[in-house]
Structure 1
């Protein structure tokens, strides 16, 4: 998955807003003003074999699953500039199947929605 595909998938979740509170280089994806993902150019401007920048995506995660994903995928690391227990950084270098990244995005979104007040949660879940 590249940054364009990730961006489209993230912003097409129900009631998502994209903001840039940390500057133009970091897109922050929020549902009901609660962050569930970030997307930015990777640390140190890494590039792939074609010279394209490698993008990093931060996603919220269950602590046990967060560690399991880090053990399975070398491109999943503790959340960069985030709570390392609850967030993972997914390096979009093409090594993780798109379906797995979509599942991680869905889980992040669902974790954030699940912690909202019932009224807000139901307003979002109706769109799922």
Structure 2
């Protein structure tokens, strides 16, 4: 159940698309600007051992706070542990959406200005 709802949240963001470079058990969610060639990953949705998990990019200080406050959040599985978290089911939908949007915003912020404009992205602070 979480797999499909998280997938919908990930795909709801402007310019987001799904790719399967690691096989059918690992959906990579990327965002692309104008030409699609500069696509960057902001989420990795996996089924491991019958459990759904989602890797999301996160500000380093916030990542540590989230891990300390939520047993469902751990350092990123097969990712840079400082900048990525792995989330398993158990968080409410509002928290999950906020984490997904934060991951997306961090990645889009690193795109060239023309790509950000093509996505209609207005910045990290405007969403709140």
Return the TM-score normalized by structure 2.
0.86
Displacement of 1:125: 2.5
Q: 2:16 maps to which residue?
A: 16
Q: 1:29 maps to which residue?
A: 29
- CA 78–126 in structure 1, closer or farther in 2 if over 3 Å, else same: closer
* Post-superposition CA distance 1:61-104 (Å, at most 9, x none): 00000000000100100000000000000012xx2111001000
Picking from 76, 80, 87, the partner of 1:79 is 76
- Secondary structure (helix, strand or coil) at the match of 1:85 reads coil
The alignment status of 1:7 with 2:4, answered yes or no, reads: no
Q: What are the ranges of 5 or more consecutive residues in structure 1 without an aligned counterpart? A: 46-52
Displacement of 1:54: 2.1
- CA 71–126 in structure 1, closer or farther in 2 if over 3 Å, else same: closer
Q: What are the ranges of 5 or more consecutive residues in structure 2 without an aligned counterpart? A: 33-38
Q: 2:98 maps to which residue?
A: 103
The 2-side partners of 1:24 and 1:18 are apart by 11
User: Where do 4+ consecutive residues of structure 1 move more than 2 Å?
Assistant: 125-128
- Secondary structure (helix, strand or coil) at the match of 2:68 reads helix
Number of aligned residue pairs: give it: 117
Displacement of 1:126: 5.0
| Equivalent residue runs for 1:105-120 within 5 Å | 105-120=100-115
The 1-side partners of 2:76 and 2:121 are apart by 30
Displacement of 1:7: 0.5
